[in-house]
Amino acid sequence: MTGTTPTDDAKKRRHRKERIAAGIVVLICLLAAAGAYFWSAWMKEDLRRDLTYIPREVPITPEIRLLQEFVRIDTSTPAGAAQGARWIARYLEKHGIRAELIASAPDRLNVYARVKGKRAGGALLLFNHIDVMPPGDGWKTPPFSGGIATNVMYGRGTLDMKALTVCQLVALVDVVRSGRPPERDLIFLATADEETGSEYGMRWLIANRGDVFEGVEYGITEGGITEMMSDGITYFGIEVGGKQVVELTLEAADAGPLRKARIALEPHMFPRDAGRIMPEVREYMKAIAPTRLAFRPYLADIDKTIRNGDFWRLPAAYRDLTQTSLWVYEPEKNGDRWTMFVRMANLPDESPDARIAWLSGLVRPYGIRLGEVRTKEGPVPISPTATPFFRVLTEEASRRYRVTAGPIILYRSATDSRFLRPLGITCYGISPYPVDYFQSLTIHKANERIGLDRFMEGVGYVKSVVSAWSQHP
């Protein structure tokens, strides 16, 4: 009978531990593979629900990696947005573009860079915002992971608006790399807090750093809409303006007068008749009419539609562009008084003071007085479409996507363009990549995402536009 030595026992224990460790590693790999499988399966099922998106195989390009890197920075807080600003500045500096970090308040950093052109004036401003909305609940994958499945990247900010920021970054770098100085200055500007009112972003810069906007003639940012059918664009909408918001409260000693006033305001909350047709609205409706099968005859000649009494047949999105939109909320008790919140979205050229006076006159007979005016915007001019830069935008969209490109006017959302247009800067909003209806629903909501093939098309669009304009005579 052969015995064992202490050395043999030690070897056996070591081998047993090695087998256990190897088993654990295998188990972890299997769990990770299973997790990836089920996550990918969920994503595929999510895409099937989109109905319109047909994913195509695309290589993981440097631009995609750049977007993923940016999405992984949680910029939903001021401190996180400041980190995002530093990330942008490092990228610009890495590619030989001097970037200035402008602090408007603690943890509020804006990024400014200017590539000098051959001549003064006529500068193009590429502007965007760094901050994103808080992710909220309902995500199937971590909101700042930048996870990729079936050629789709998931993450807060992928659409609003980190993808466009990356498009602008690489387009600016592309011009610098070309070695050909631009005809006019190209300016990059990333701001701090657009999602919360732009107080420490665009509005602060306008008030305190006028040099940033020196010589700027055109600006390009978010706000465009790509209308789609199946997997193709039917209309490439370039934002030229939007309705302006007034928010205020009405006050009374008790709820009764406020409720009566709310009933009296209902005809203005749900108007059936047309208000005023701005020339730009008429142009927009005529431009989109060919793609609106059900409403084509009504939109093609809106004046005729109104004369014939058919205006009410149009959806609210179109009717709203001719009138003030009014939302009146239920009265609430605040201390010893009752208040009622009111939100108005006025036509772009209307005076907010005139609209407030109009509302005050309607409710005064009920013993109601004006309370706090929380937001007061406007008037803001609509950007003209008969400009050389608008032509560059539409021609590139038509060439790349083989589709009609033209103006759109936002009737509920707004961008930082509303602060620049009154300064005489002609601003346009774009969505350079196709974004279908289902993907657009994820903006500010869970599971925000962008198709990577579409993102790369957008990269190409912005590069082509900036390159063409940099050499425009």
In tens, the pLDDT along 358-397 reads: 999 999 999 999 999 999 999 999 999 999 999 999 999 9
pLDDT of residue 229: 81
Average pLDDT over residues 230-254: 93
Phi, psi of 343 (to 5 degrees): -125, 130
Question: Who wins on pLDDT, 48 or 132?
Answer: 132
Q: Which helix (H) or strand (E) holds 248?
A: strand 244-252
Residue 145 has pLDDT above 80, yes or no: yes
Each residue of 204-214: pLDDT tens digit? 999 999 999 99
AA identity, residue 288: I
> Please, what is the Cα angle at 233 between 228 and 236, to 5 degrees?
105
pLDDT of residue 58: 79
pLDDT of residue 4: 43
Residue 102 has pLDDT above 70, yes or no: yes
pLDDT of residue 232: 85
Tokens linked to 158? 């992928």
In the chain, what are the helix, strand and coil shares in percent, each to the nearest 5?
Answer: 45, 20, 35
d(CA 141, CA 154): 8
d(CA 74, CA 336): 42
Question: Who wins on pLDDT, 32 or 259?
Answer: 259
Tokens linked to 89? 């500045």
d(CA 438, CA 108): 33
Which of 8-17, 119-128, 145-154, 284-293 is least confident? 8-17
Q: What is the DSSP letter of 311?
A: G
pLDDT of residue 273: 87
Strands 332-334 and 405-410, by their bridges, are unpaired
Residue 41 has pLDDT above 80, yes or no: no
Mean confidence (pLDDT) of the chain = 90
Residue 72 has pLDDT above 70, yes or no: yes
d(CA 200, CA 103): 9
d(CA 57, CA 420): 40
User: Radius of gyration (Cα) for the chain, nearest Å?
Assistant: 27
d(CA 107, CA 126): 23
pLDDT of residue 412: 83
Each residue of 385-441: pLDDT tens digit? 999 999 999 999 999 999 999 999 998 889 999 999 999 999 999 999 999 889 999
Which of 36-45, 309-318, 406-415 is least confident? 36-45
Residue 6 has pLDDT above 50, yes or no: no
- Under 8 Å between Cβ of 314 and 363: no
Task: Please report which confidence band the pLDDT of residue 276 belongs to, taking 50, 70 and 90 as the band edges.
Answer: very high
In the chain, what are the domains?
62-222+431-470 (3.40.630.10), 244-376 (3.30.70)
pLDDT of residue 34: 46
Which of 204-218, 247-261, 272-286 is least confident? 272-286
